[in-house]
């Protein structure tokens, strides 16, 4: 379904892939022209190693999902006047009476899907929230509390390959602290034992909701030592063997194709 543009043009599509009773609007702001007029900085994202270097062989993993992440963040006020649709043709259907020459305009107040600045702005707010969610590291009741940073390096007399090379340690509870890592709207928690990971996931979800974001509770499952894929990697912990990570065959082949292309390009340059 397409509408005339108001300053910008958006592509709209009504879909029902979630079922006949769950109709959702899908919109594409890449067609708006705003991306050509604005700038957004690059930024880093975590990978599997980001959380694996904070867990041990006894750790379990929990997963949370932020619902409607973009729609929980506001669009910059300076952009709102350029982000909207002309719905004049729908005024009668909506029961709105317009005088001659008037138009019915709807404008966006929230971060847009497909807008260049949306990922940066939303993830920035999410990372601010993360500092609050992690709480006071000295609080005895905080599962993410810790007291000191320890080194566990090859060559040390007490080196333990089942532990990270550099890690925080909770002296009070004699364990690695619970941890949290987020990749856009996918949040992974880790802690030992399993019950502590479940408690951590619950605490994180509660604070996410308190801060005005949304935890999609329907997607949350109990903590596992072999959780689902996160950031393209499968993870597993074993009390006797340690911590492991692997990637899918499809992803590995994709990496090989990228490396192969770079080698071919480099070879072509050398020949020329």
Residues 87-105 have pLDDT tens digits of 898 888 888 999 988 999 8
* 146 lies in the same domain as 160: yes
Residues spanned by the domain of 29: 1-37+75-109
Contact status, residue 187 vs residue 204, Cβ threshold 8 Å: yes
Contact criterion met (CB below 8 Å) for 144 and 29: no
103 and 126 inside one domain: no
What is the C-alpha separation between 25 and 116, in angstroms, rounded? 20
Q: What is the pTM of this model?
A: 0.78
If asked whether residues 122 and 184 sit together in one domain, one would say: yes
Query: Do residue 86 and residue 160 come from a single domain?
Result: no
Looking at the fold, whether 103 and 152 belong to one and the same domain comes out as no
Give the C-alpha separation, 208 to 260, whole Å.
42
Indicate if 152 and 271 belong to the same structural domain: yes
Task: Let me know whether 160 and 188 are in one domain.
Answer: yes
Q: Do 47 and 83 belong together in one domain?
A: no
Which one of 88, 109, 130 terminates a domain? 109
> Is 1's pLDDT higher than 70?
no
Residue 12 is classified by DSSP as E
- Which helix H or strand E contains 256, and what residues bound it? helix 249-271
If asked whether residues 95 and 119 sit together in one domain, one would say: no
Closest of 153, 171, 169 to residue 161, by C-alpha: 153
DSSP H or E run through 77: helix 77-80
CA pseudo-torsion sign 174, 246, 188, 193: negative
Structural domain ending residue among the three candidates 109, 131, 162: 109
């709209």: which residue's tokens?
12
Per DSSP, the three-state class of 122 is helix
- Whole-number mean pLDDT of the chain? 85
Q: What is the DSSP letter of 215?
A: B
Beta strands at 84-86 and 4-6: parallel, antiparallel or unpaired: antiparallel
- 183, 82: one domain: no
How is residue 237 written in tokens? 């912990």
Strand partners, 134: none
**81 phi/psi in degrees, rounded to 5:** -70, -15
pLDDT for 20-62, tens place per residue?
Answer: 666 666 677 888 788 999 999 999 899 888 999 899 999 999 9
CATH number of the domain bearing residue 214: 3.30.70.270
pLDDT digits (tens, 9 = 90+) for 2-12: 333 334 444 44
Q: How many domains does the chain have?
A: 2
Mean per-residue pLDDT, 250-271: 81
Q: Are residues 28 and 155 in the same domain?
A: no
92 and 147 housed in the same domain: no
The token pair at 246 is 């692997």
Residue with tokens 């509408």: 3
């Amino acid at each position: 379904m397409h509408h005339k543009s108001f300053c910008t043009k958006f592509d709209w599509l009504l879909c029902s892939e979630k079922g006949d009773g769950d109709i959702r609007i899908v919109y594409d702001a890449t067609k708006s022209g705003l991306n050509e007029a604005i700038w957004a900085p690059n930024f880093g994202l975590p990978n599997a190693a980001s959380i694996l270097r904070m867990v041990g062989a006894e750790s379990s993993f929990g997963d949370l999902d932020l619902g409607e992440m973009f729609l929980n963040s506001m669009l910059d006020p300076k952009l709102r006047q350029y982000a909207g649709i002309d719905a004049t043709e729908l005024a009668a259907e909506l029961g709105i009476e317009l005088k001659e020459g008037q138009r019915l305009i709807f404008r966006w107040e929230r971060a847009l899907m497909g807008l260049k600045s949306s990922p940066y702005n939303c993830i920035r707010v999410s990372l601010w929230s993360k500092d609050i969610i992690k709480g006071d590291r000295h609080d005895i009741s905080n599962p993410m509390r810790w007291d000191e940073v320890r080194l566990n390096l090859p060559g040390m007399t007490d080196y333990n390959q089942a532990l990270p090379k550099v890690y925080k340690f909770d002296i009070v509870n004699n364990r690695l602290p619970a941890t949290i890592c987020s990749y856009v709207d996918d949040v992974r928690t880790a802690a030992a034992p399993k019950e502590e990971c479940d408690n951590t996931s619950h605490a994180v979800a509660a604070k996410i909701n308190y801060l005005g974001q949304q935890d999609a509770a329907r997607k949350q499952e109990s903590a596992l030592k072999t959780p689902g894929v996160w950031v393209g990697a499968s993870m597993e912990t074993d009390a006797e063997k340690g911590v492991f990570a692997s990637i899918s065959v499809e992803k590995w082949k994709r990496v090989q194709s990228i490396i192969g292309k770079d080698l071919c390009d480099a070879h072509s340059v050398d020949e020329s």
